[in-house]
Amino acid sequence: MNKEQLMESARSMKERAYAPYSKFPVGAALLLKDGTVINGVNVENVSLGATNCAERTAIFTAIANGYKKGDLQAIAVAGDTADFLPPCSICRQVLAEFCLPDMPVYLTNEKKEILELTLKDLLPFAFTDLEM
């Protein structure tokens, strides 16, 4: 699957988001090493701390389906923004837990342009496993 197809999968998910408070739907598409794509959406809660982002929804679903650290190959994130929409800091940390630093991260904007970064580009000083 190429980055355009993965991004289209993320874009198509936005309509399924549960965003009654922010009115800001986000979709994510996570490519796994076996070619499977798992999608996610943001799911809000009136208690904002209980809100879950689209990226984490997709990652947690992958883990619940038996995928493990290193199985995640790429992620696309889509929202309706003028600039490219990056994962929040919590999502970046979760990505650092389950993905390799050179994993592609695709971001888009309302013009449907795609920016390709790596996880290391987004989180250059990731907090990861510490060897003691």
Q: Are 11 and 53 within 8 A, CB to CB? A: no
52-88: per-residue pLDDT in tens? 999 999 999 999 999 999 999 999 999 999 999 999 9
Would the pLDDT of 131 be above 80?
A: no
Please tell me the predicted confidence (pLDDT) of residue 36. 98
Place of tokens 């003028």: 82
DSSP percent split of the chain into helix, strand, coil, nearest 5: 30, 25, 45
Q: Which positions are annotated as active-site residues?
A: 55
Q: Are 60 and 39 within 8 A, CB to CB? A: no
pTM above 0.75, yes or no: yes
Looking at domain 3-120, which of 3.40.140.10, 3.90.1300.10, 3.40.190.10, 3.30.1540.10 is its CATH number?
3.40.140.10
Instruction: Return binding residues for Zn(2+).
Output: 53, 88, 91
* Percent above pLDDT 90 for the chain: 92
* Spatial separation of the C-alpha atoms in residues 51 and 45, rounded to whole Å: 5
6-23: per-residue pLDDT in tens? 999 999 999 999 999 999
